[in-house]
Amino acid sequence: MRKQFVFGVVAAISVALLPAVSAQSASADTNWATCTDIASCGGMGALVKAAQAEGSLNITTVLRNWADYGDAIDSYQAAFGIHINDDNPDGGSSYEIKSIQTAPAPSQPDVVDIGASHIQQAMTGSTTGGSLFAPYKVVTWNDIPSLWKDSAGYWFGNYSGQIVIGYDAKLKVHPTKIKDFTNPAFKKVVGIAGDPTGAQEALISVMAATVANGGTFNNVQKGFDFYHGLKKSGNLSGATADSTHIATGNPKLWLDYSFNALGTEQLGAQIGKTINYVKPSDAAVMGTPYIFGINATAPHPAAARLWVEFLMSENKGHLAKDLAGDEASMVTAGTLDGGKLFNSLMGGQNIFQLGGAVPINIAAMKAKKLLVPSPTTIFQSNPAADKLTLQQPTVAQQATATALLTKLWPTL
């Protein structure tokens, strides 16, 4: 489950133009639905033109404040003139997969951004038991750690974040650890971001609660018991920790990804509410990277490939606010090369960085000196939390956790 808040990064950043990917020309009959890499399909200029001809991109469960997706959406639309349709921003990974399986063909998402625990479901979810995704390797493929990409290109990681505590500053007691959620002062104010069997953020939250209560990623029983205890004591509000409920005042205490802190704090200020974030001192848990997959039956296959190329690119360059405003029409008219325009934009990996996420290509970007500075996130001071070593569950551990919670969560 994802929380929807408006987030805009204000930063002046210089442009670094990179060489075009390929000078080839795409043939008129290029089938973008089967294109597995840009070089063999005519290059970036050809991809931009093909995506512009399609005119639209369908995405789902994407929030503007989530890892600064707002800047990514605005930049893509402004630069290329391609309209983005965002279905159900507050949905979860299971919803994304189900949308590919059941939505009418024109309404299906072109690209999904799912939790790692849902990879296997996506790779066997077609009517024939095969992958829902089409194989495609982005230009920055070699910079993606091998652990977080399918060797054939069916899926690849994009960004990650740490589990932190978010809370309404008006609470009389300010939490510093996850176990503080059991304090009687928090009656009816604790929320969780959905059902952990279908929403990745909720799953990682249960795993963090497990660690906080002395358990390990191998068995999340203690995490379930923690939330069960919160419900039994009356601390669990019953309200999902999503955009609508947080904005209207309940829940007032929840676990969140660190890359949502800036946007949530900004929204709070806009509506006269002070929302604080703190890293818990009893669990330092990094979520596994979120995963991109291109729908094998994407209604806009070229726009889909341009979207993932954009979000996996590493350039230092322009955001939407920096553009002159006529770039898309110039590409259409043939007076501006689409590849040069692409390389003048702020790459999606750096946009994730600006949003407080950890881009999957961070090691390679540091080595190439392409990483922009991270934002100054206002976390409340908690020195004890800074001494902890970050832990990250494996995909196998998440699968085991999901299997257990599938049995337990309905009994919460």
Do 276 and 297 reside in the same domain of the chain? no
For all residues of the chain together, what is the average pLDDT? 91
Q: Is 13 a member of any domain?
A: no
69-80: average pLDDT: 97
12 pLDDT more than 70: no
pTM of the model: 0.90
Q: What is the CATH number of the domain that holds 93?
A: 3.40.190.10
- Compute the Cα dihedral for 295, 301, 306, 307 and give only its sign: negative
Q: Which domain holds residue 205?
A: 163-286+381-411
Q: Is 401 a member of any domain?
A: yes
What residues form DSSP beta bridges with 255? 165
158-181: average pLDDT: 97
Domain count, the chain: 2
> How many C-alpha atoms does 340 have within 13 Å on its Cβ side?
7
Do 144 and 93 reside in the same domain of the chain? yes
389 pLDDT more than 70: yes
14 pLDDT more than 70: no
Do 39 and 152 reside in the same domain of the chain? yes
Q: In 3D, which of 76, 40, 36, 39 has the Cα closest to residue 58?
A: 76
Do 279 and 293 reside in the same domain of the chain? no
pLDDT of residue 16: 36
Do 195 and 250 reside in the same domain of the chain? yes
> How many C-alpha atoms does 88 have within 13 Å on its Cβ side?
18
pLDDT of residue 28: 57
Do 262 and 299 reside in the same domain of the chain? no
Q: What angle do CA 81, 83, 88 make, to 5 degrees?
A: 155
Do 168 and 124 reside in the same domain of the chain? no
pLDDT of residue 271: 87
What's the burial of 294, exposed, middle or buried (CB within 10 Å: 0-12/13-18/19+)? buried
207 pLDDT more than 70: yes
Q: Is 327 a member of any domain?
A: yes
Do 149 and 207 reside in the same domain of the chain? no
Q: Is 245 a member of any domain?
A: yes
Q: Is 375 a member of any domain?
A: no
126-138: average pLDDT: 96
C-alpha to C-alpha distance for 250 and 204, rounded to whole angstroms: 21
Do 151 and 121 reside in the same domain of the chain? yes
Do 46 and 67 reside in the same domain of the chain? yes
315 pLDDT more than 90: yes
Q: Is 91 a member of any domain?
A: yes
Do 260 and 399 reside in the same domain of the chain? yes
Q: Is 329 a member of any domain?
A: yes
Do 60 and 208 reside in the same domain of the chain? no
Instruction: Please answer whether residues 125 and 97 qualify as being in contact, where contact means their C-beta atoms are separated by less than 8 angstroms.
Output: yes
Q: Is 237 a member of any domain?
A: yes
